[in-house]
Amino acid sequence: MLAAAGSGVLVGAAIVASRSVVAEVPPLTLALLRYAVGFLCLLPFALGALRGTTAMPPARDLWAMAALGTGQFAILIALLNWGLQHVAAAPAALIFSLFPLVTLLLGAALGSERITLRLFAGVLLSIAGVALALAPKLQGAGRGSWWGELAVFASACVGALCSVLYRPYLQRYPTVPVSAFAMLASVLFLAAAALAEGWPTRVLALGGTAWAVVAFIGLASGVGYFWWLHALKHEAPTRVTVFLALNPVTAAVLAWALLGEPLPPLLLAALALIAAGLWLATTRPSPGKRPAAPR
């Protein structure tokens, strides 16, 4: 649970950092740099975890983990970065906070998770807290095209599907090597996809400030997704993804501090709702009390 909470905070910080450089670095190029740095951060630890191991996973598992890594780390972030070109950081974080609700519905549809009233209420409470925190910023958000909002929501759906499908491989293999391998697959995919943006030329033209932001995003990704996969290995997907409710609050506070965006006055009330939602979703009822599933 601590790993999931830490990952939720880092996602919010990375959203604000990404928002500050998306005008200078195109979406696919930013995703490529993000996970190239993240992979380099994880590589020494992955090699250490594999030391003395001779058995390799079967090819079907490697292909599956590569596909999940491409979805989780390449397609998700490319969609999110594209959306951030058209949507401010706080509304984007609110849309992305639907991640746990989509995860819960997908998990139930695929038979990997049971929807309980307690879990469902916790997810909805956390989303209500996010909406309250960002309500002042959402006034007038419906004007113009909705392509940016749809891209952010699509990124949440991709992440939810990958989170549900990751669990068997995380229980079968060590977390750090799986994280590093997934990121490597995404880097190779993005290196080809970002050629359309001319990423080699753009990377060489980046200034020191942009590189510092990219380095932070990459480090946050390496640490955050290791914590994320560690949490998915030990907990049900919805109990992990519900902690993404922390990322809009983090995004709102950091956007106020670093980007000059106004701080919502209802933040404390929103935090109380989010805390109540997290408590409901991540704690189990006392013995002898079985929660009833919603009809």
Report residue 287's pLDDT band, with 50, 70 and 90 as the boundaries: low
Report residue 253's pLDDT band, with 50, 70 and 90 as the boundaries: confident
What pLDDT, on a 0 to 100 scale, did the predictor assign at position 277? 77
What pLDDT, on a 0 to 100 scale, did the predictor assign at position 63? 93
Highest mean pLDDT, choosing among 96-105, 128-137, 203-212, 274-283: 203-212
Judging by beta carbons within 10 Å of its beta carbon (0-12, 13-18, 19+), is residue 135 exposed, middle or buried? middle
What pLDDT, on a 0 to 100 scale, did the predictor assign at position 16? 74
Task: State how far the alpha carbon of 157 is from the alpha carbons of 63, 71, 76, 79, 95, in Å.
Answer: 21, 10, 8, 11, 11
Q: Does the structure show a pLDDT above 90 at 121?
A: no
Report the SS3 class of residue 3. Answer: helix
- Rounded CA gap, 32 and 73, in Å? 9
Residue type, 139: Q
